[in-house]
Structure 1
C-alpha cells in the first residue's frame, strides 16, 4: 500500500528529553510563552496557545538532550488503519500503547533511522480555564502575556544517516508529499522537506555528517509575524539564551528564522512560514543543487558548519557547543 496524502492530518506533539528539566520548562514557558497544562510522572506537559489539542510538547528528564517520540494525528480511524497496514506491508513493525498527554491509543513505530513515531486519532480537545479563556470563541486559549507567544508547533527536522530512505518512509508509507530537496553533485539527496497537508513542510530530514542515526536537528515553533522573531532575538540575548544563527531568511521554503539553544541542550527554531502554502495537488518537487546552496541563505548568510554535525543527543566529535 502506497502513501496517501491526508491520512496523517498534522504533527500532534513531541516528547523532548532534557537534562535540565526546570531550565527547559522556564525556556518554553517564559521565553516562548507556552502554558503548562499538567505533569505525568516526571514529565511536564506544555501547549501553544493556538493548538486545539491539550498538549504540544512533553518535556521528560533524561541524562542527555534529544527527542524520544514525535506523535502524528491521523485524520480518521480508517486513515490510521491504512497507515498501520502500509507500515507492515513495507516490512516495518510497531506496537500499541495506551495514550498519554491527552492522546488516545497510540501505534508506535520507527523510521529507517530509528526515530520513534506515535500514530493516533483520538485526542482530548483543550478547554481553557476561566483565566485563560479567549475573547474569540474560535481560538482555544487567550494569547499569552509573556515571552514570544508562539502560535503553534510548526515542524520537525531530523538528522539522518540516509536522507532518502527516511524521506521515502514518510512519502510512501505515511503519505507525506515532498516539496523541496537538496541534491548533491554525486546525485545523493542531502536534505528533503515533506508535508502532510497544504503547509509547505511538516517534516525535514537533513544529512548527519557524523554518520550517526536517530538524532534531532531541531523542532520549530511558528510566530504570528516576522517582527516576533526580531523581538525573540532581543529577548533571548537579554535572558542569556544562546543564539546559534539568525535572524535571517532561508532560501529553501523562504522561512524567516532564528535558531537558539534551550537550556537542556536542544536546538529550537522560531520561524515565520505562514505566508507559504502548497495548494497544488500535483506540486513539482523543487531541487536545489550544491552550487546553489553554496550561495547561502536568501540574503547571503552562509549556512553554519554546526548545522551539519551538531544535533541531539550529542555524539563524539560533532563539534557541539
Structure 2
C-alpha cells in the first residue's frame, strides 16, 4: 500500500520530567527501556521496537521528533528523494537509540520528522520473556498496561498543505477528512496500513505552528479504556474527555492531560480499511456539529488546546 511501514517512535517534551515519567510508568504502565542524558526511553509491552516513547526534559511541552519507518532500504531512498525535492529536507543523522541512519526533515508546518529503516527489535531480558513467541514483551499488568503507541495528532495552521505533503512525498493514504463550509480543510486522518489512522492533522485554532494535539496509546478492549478512566481519576490525572466513541475513524477514546501539559489518549477499536479503492470519507460542518458517534458534544478545549500552549 505504501513505502511507509508505520508510524515510528515519538519524542515528547515535558517541563515536569519527574512527574511525567511517573505518569507514564506508574499510571500508563509503560516500561523504562533506557536512559540517556535528559531522556528516558519507554515502551509498551506490545511494541516490537526497543522503544516507542522518548520522554525528554525541556523548558516546554510538545513534540520533539516524530519517527517514521520505511518498508525497505530502497523505499527509504525513494522517500528521501521525494522529501528533498520539496525543499523541506534537513539531512541525515546517525539515528537514535537502536535506530540506524535517519533522514531528518520538516513538514510545511514546522514539525520535525525522521524517516529510517534500520532498527533493532526488542529482546526481553532474562526473567521477563513473554509466554508466547509472537508477543514482544510480557504484560506486567502495571497501571493501565498500555500495549503500544497507536497514533499521533498534530496541529497545523494549514491542514491541506500538510496533508498533501504527507500523501505526495511520504506516501500516506488519506482515509477521512473534515471540510468546512468555506472550503477550508480542518482535519485529515491518514495511515500507511489498514488501520483507521496513524497520522492526523487538525487545524490549529491559534494559527500557531509545530504544535501537538495528542499522543495515543492502545489497549485491547473498551473495558480497559473504561478502567483507565478510573485509574486516572484515582491518580489525580486531569480527564478532559471521558470515554466515548469517535464518529471519525470510529475509535473508542479517553483523553487527559499528563503532568507536563501534553494531551494523552487511551484508545481502542476503530475501523479497518481493506478495499484498495475505498473512497475518502468527507465530514462537513453540519456533521461535526452533531458531536461524537453517540451524540456526546466535543469539549471546547479539544478544539483550542495544544502544546506548547500559546496565548
TM-score class normalised by the smaller sequence = over 0.9
Does residue 110 (structure 1) correspond to residue 106 (structure 2)? The answer is: yes
Q: Which residue of 1 aligns with 2:207?
A: 211
Offset, 1:230: 0.4
1:100 aligns with 96
Please tell me whether residue 310 in structure 1 is matched to residue 305 in structure 2: yes
Mapped to 2, the partners of 1:265 and 1:212 lie a distance apart of 17
Equivalent positions of 1:1-321 (< 5 A) are 5-273=1-269, 276-316=271-311
Matched residues in 2 for 1:277 and 1:121: separation? 25
Please state how far the C-alpha of 1:11 moved relative to its aligned partner.
1.2
TM-score (norm 1): 0.95
Q: SS where residue 112 of structure 1 aligns?
A: coil
Distance 2:196 2:252 in 1: 14
Deviation at 1:131, TM superposition (A): 2.6
User: In 2, are the aligned partners of 1:34 and 1:144 still within 8 Å (CA)?
Assistant: no
SS at match of 2:89: coil
Render the CA deviation track for 1:113-133: whole Å, top value 9, x for unaligned.
Answer: 000100010001110012321
Q: Deviations over 1:164-183 (max 9, x none)?
A: 00111110110000000111
Structure 2 counterpart SS, 1:130: coil
Distance 1:21 1:243 in 2: 20
Unaligned runs of 5+ in 2: none
Alignment length (residue pairs): 311
Contact 1:154 / 1:220 at 8 angstroms: preserved in 2? yes
Unaligned runs of at least 5 residues, structure 1: 317-321
CA deviation after TM superposition for structure 1 residue 144, in Å: 2.2
Which residue pairs with 1:319 in the alignment?
none
Distance 1:10 1:24 in 2: 26
1:132-166: per-residue Cα shift (whole Å, max 9, x none)?
A: 21000111111122111111100010010000001
1:276 CA displacement: 2.2
Please report the TM-score for the alignment, with normalisation by the length of structure 2: 0.98
SS at match of 2:127: helix
Moved segments of 4+, more than 6 Å: none
SS in 2 for 1:170: helix
Cα deviations across residues 170-215 of structure 1 (Å, max 9, x unaligned)?
1011000000011101111110100111111111110011110100
Q: Displacement, 1:91?
A: 2.8
Q: Secondary structure at the match of 1:218?
A: strand
Give CA deviations for 1:83-120 in whole Å, capped at 9, x if unaligned. 01111222322211112121111100000000010001
CA deviation map 1:252-300 (0-9, x unaligned): 1111100011111110000112x52111111200001101110100111
Give RMSD over aligned pairs. Answer: 0.9
